A and B are shown apart, each in its own frame.
Chain A
Amino acid sequence: MKRFVAANAAIGSVIIGFLVLVAVTGAVWTPYDPLGISFRDKLAAPNARHWLGTDEFGRDVASRLMAGAASSVWISITTVTIAVSIGVVIGVTSGYSRGWFDRIVMSFNDALLAFPGILLALGLLAVLGANKYGIIVALGIAYSPSVARIVRGTVLSIREREFIAASRVIGNSEAYTMMRHVLPNCLAALTVLTTSMFGWVLLAESSLSFLGLGVPPPAPTWGNMLASARPYIGQAIWLAVLPGLCISMTLLGINLLGDALRDRLDPRMRDRT
């Protein structure tokens, strides 16, 4: 069992390490100009010159995937960070304080949850403008209510445990108890949540692109590459498959790494055989 877990962690790290390498490289150097149009080469299947083929404008897919990795990774990391930070602050304070504060905050939170995340993001994008930063802020806000909900639920169960009462009897302040005892014990739920949220965000970004509200073309992201490949799926299957593969491999890597991280951070799991 332990060996199995270790193998998972290793696979996850390799995938994510490779992704980061590609994203960093893609930000400074790509084999071809990711925006360079060449109608002579359009919709070329993978070949010696274009290893991963070209798209409907003859742009090199490999270069676009590399450039896209940089923006997709950047977007998802910042979005998830924003959503988790807002959600954790709201969830922990409202779950720990209970009472009227909790009721008001959670009613508002539930009202936001009632909108599909993507719809909420659309509304926010209309205000913020459809660009990279608009997407980050909009998705970050749109996904924070679900984080807040889950964190609050975890906090509610933790605050009933006796070690919280023990901390109060010691004379620790509420804020200290929250930071030192409640938050660390939410970590397991949080890591699982965070990793799955990378998936939601990558998909949401491609959905927004599909609706024309994503990162505006011609700048490549995996999401808008996937979206623009749709009309050509019959003639140039690689256009859809390659960005799709990138997204799913990334999700796999993040999930494996996330699980390993969760076990690593939990003292109870560290010496389990």
Chain B
Amino acid sequence: MEKNLLTVDNLSVQVTGIGLDVVKNVGFNVQSGEIVGIVGESGSGKTLAARAAMGLLPQGIGVTGGSIKFDGEEIIGIAPRRLRQLRGSRIGMVFQEPMTSLNPSMLLGHQLDEGLALHRRLPEAKRREMILDMLQRVGMDQPERALGAYPHEFSGGMRQRIMLASVMLLRPALLIADEPTTALDAVVQRDVLELMVGLTREQGTAVLLISHDLGMVARYCDRIIVMCRGEIVEQGKSDELLARPKHPYTRKLLGAMPARGVERSFPKDEQPIVSIRNLVVEYPGRQKLLRRDPPHRALHGINLDIAPKQVVAVVGSSGSGKTTLGQVVAGLVKATDGEVRFEGAPISQDQKTYWDYRMNCQMIFQDPYSSLDPRQTIGQIVGEPLRHVPNMTPAAVRERIAEVLEEVKLGADYANRFPHQLSGGQRQRVAIARAVVRRPRFVIADEAVSALDVTVRAQILDLFTELQNRHGFSCLFISHDLGVVEQVADRVIVMDKGRIVEEGDRSTVFDAPQHPFTRKLLSAVPALQPAPGGGVRLLWRLDAEEGSAPAGAQSQAVHPA
């Protein structure tokens, strides 16, 4: 007895001031109890299409045509009072940023009670009981204590669970989840999604899941809608759409999913370019009135060798110490104990070899919006490292800048532009150009592609591999994304809580993971298998053998790929 719960017909949305159409004649439906995914990159209009259904379009953006029917009732032009009744009560919404979607100055107990008190006429004791049940259901250890706590006392993953609890308490018929786990790391992401799918299956709630991550959407959704530039380019059953993609854009998205790169071999016993011995980093504790908090140990005795021309990836969830490791090797953070040697010589300011290290060790940062000085032109940014290259004439500098800009496929005429005139992907190309302009022998890439859209990410990864092959620099590639790591890394280091828990060649770590933490990380990334229809099938590693499903995840939640 399936019926359309949400029917969107010919919907168009426009930025009113400048007449820009951001959603064009979009039509889709969600049946009750169904999980539907909308996939698209930033600017595809996926969020606006879903927000229109909630009547939650931002200021200055309005619906210009079409209809949105929820349970037979037209949403466009609905009385605000009626819309408020629907919101929360019948349609729930979970947002991307768990850090900002809960009110920081309000006790959780009150926050969770707000919706219930407003939409359900129930005595207080009954409401409290429901809240406690729900908190337990989402995996909160001490629900009683949580009621009297503030949001900042919980981690991002926990806050997203709380957010989910507050929405699901009202047993809505439709849940709109807008990139609900994008801000979380891979392991937590999976737990939260399993929980969301489990909860909505129990209550028969339909889900509209919005995400840029095709693999993730394919795993949990019955149907997928692919959006590009405000239009729906393709929609269909998940596995069919993946196996037999019709639209070129869908194929492009599938092609952008990271796949294992070519195997490379390295001569044994060559002197490592970077070797790390017993590295310990402690951050001093916070200064209290009379005493200091104990120091926080970010790295507990790390040992690591990186061979010339090798790409070594460090993976781990947030707080694993991988970023700290990169910063020590880059010379941005001082080691508390142990040492880092670059080509056999310790890196410290007082060493004669320091300058050689400084010139030859460069870094690509995560956020291309903050790693480029907004007041410099691209040419100045890329040329700045050349200040320290002795005997370079201004003409040679200009020539090198042009050459490097060509290498990163921007072209020399970009030299006079400013960072704000560039897209995120182009900015990251500039950041890469800055890192390689001096032809360093070693590059640290700290989450260098995590802030980028999928197709852009694929291009940047290709560029990175190409440059690495051409110039042969070694690389410490730090990432939380195992898919990306599988594509570029020769060796993989898995870190957890400041320690290396597993290390080995890529194929060893990915095909025969030993440590439970590695297995948990791996279970969140699909392996791609070509399908007869020209597309792919997703294989979820370690699914079958996994006995300890995360709290709240029901087995029926997972759709076999």
Question: Which A residues have a C-beta under 8 Å from some C-beta of B?
Answer: 161-163, 165-172, 181, 184-185, 187, 266-268, 271
Contact = CB atoms under 8 A, between A and B. Distances in A.
A176 to B, nearest CB: 8
B387 interface: yes
Contacts of A165: 330, 332, 363, 365, 371
A166 B367 CA distance: 12
Given A162-B367, A162-B370, A181-B373, A167 B384 contact: yes
B370 A268 contact: no
B370 A267 contact: no
B530 interface: no
B418 A166 contact: no
Given A171-B358, A267-B420, A166 B375 contact: no
A161 B370 contact: yes
A162 B365 contact: yes
A167 B363 CA distance: 10
B371 A267 contact: no
B374 interface: yes
A80 to B, nearest CB: 23
B374 A170 contact: no
14 contacts: A166-B363, A166-B371, A169-B331, A169-B358, A169-B362, A170-B384, A170-B388, A171-B358, A171-B359, A171-B388, A266-B374, A267-B375, A267-B377, A268-B374
Interface residues of B, number: 28
B44 interface: no
Contact of A163 (B332, B358, B362, B373): B373
Contacts of B362: 169-170
Nearest to B389: A171
Q: Pick the 9 closest A-B CB pairs, nearest first.
A: A162-B371, A267-B418, A162-B365, A171-B358, A163-B373, A268-B420, A162-B370, A170-B385, A161-B370
A162 B374 CA distance: 11
B250 interface: no
A48 B63 CA distance: 65
Nearest to B380: A180
B375 A185 contact: yes
A190 to B, nearest CB: 13
Contacts of A184: 373, 375
A163 B332 CA distance: 13
Nearest to B364: A166
A260 to B, nearest CB: 18
A268 B418 contact: yes
Contacts of A181: 373
Nearest to A271: B421
Contacts of A172: 384, 387-388
A213 to B, nearest CB: 42
Contacts of B373: 163, 167, 181, 184-185
A22 to B, nearest CB: 35
Interface string B404-420: 00000000000000101
Interface in B383-403: 384-385, 387-388
A198 to B, nearest CB: 24
B400 to A, nearest CB: 14
A173 to B, nearest CB: 10
Contacts of A187: 375
Contacts of A268: 374, 418, 420
Nearest to A270: B418
B171 interface: no
Nearest to B444: A169
A177 to B, nearest CB: 10
B410 to A, nearest CB: 18
A271 B387 CA distance: 29
A172 to B, nearest CB: 7
Contacts of B434: 166, 170
Nearest to B358: A171
Interface in B426-484: 431, 434
Nearest to B332: A165
B355 interface: yes
B487 interface: no
B372 interface: yes
B447 to A, nearest CB: 11
Contact of A166 (B365, B377, B388): B365
A271 B422 CA distance: 13
Given A162-B365, A166-B372, A169-B358, 18 more contacts: A161-B370, A163-B370, A165-B332, A166-B363, A167-B384, A168-B331, A169-B330, A169-B332, A169-B362, A171-B355, A171-B358, A171-B359, A171-B385, A171-B388, A185-B373, A185-B374, A266-B374, A267-B377
B56 to A, nearest CB: 27
Contacts of A169: 330-332, 358, 361-363
Contacts of B385: 170-171
B6 to A, nearest CB: 37
B47 interface: no
Given A162-B367, A267-B418, A267-B420, A168 B372 contact: no
Nearest to B375: A184
Contacts of A271: 421
Among A168, A169, A187, A268: residue with most chain B CB under 10 A: A169
A181 B371 CA distance: 11
B361 to A, nearest CB: 8
A169 B384 CA distance: 11
A167 B387 CA distance: 11
Contacts of B418: 267-268
A167 B435 CA distance: 11
Contacts of A170: 362, 384-385, 387-388, 434
B366 interface: yes
Contacts of A267: 374-375, 377, 418, 420
A27 B36 CA distance: 78
B513 to A, nearest CB: 32
Contacts of A185: 373-375
A162 to B, nearest CB: 4
A187 B373 CA distance: 13
A169 B374 CA distance: 18
Contacts of B374: 185, 266-268
A267 B359 CA distance: 30
A163 B372 contact: yes
B31 to A, nearest CB: 44
Interface string B189-225: 0000000000000000000000000000000000000
A265 to B, nearest CB: 9
Contacts of B331: 168-169
A52 to B, nearest CB: 46
Contacts of A168: 331-332
A246 B374 CA distance: 38
A271 B418 CA distance: 10
A163 B388 contact: no
Nearest to A160: B370
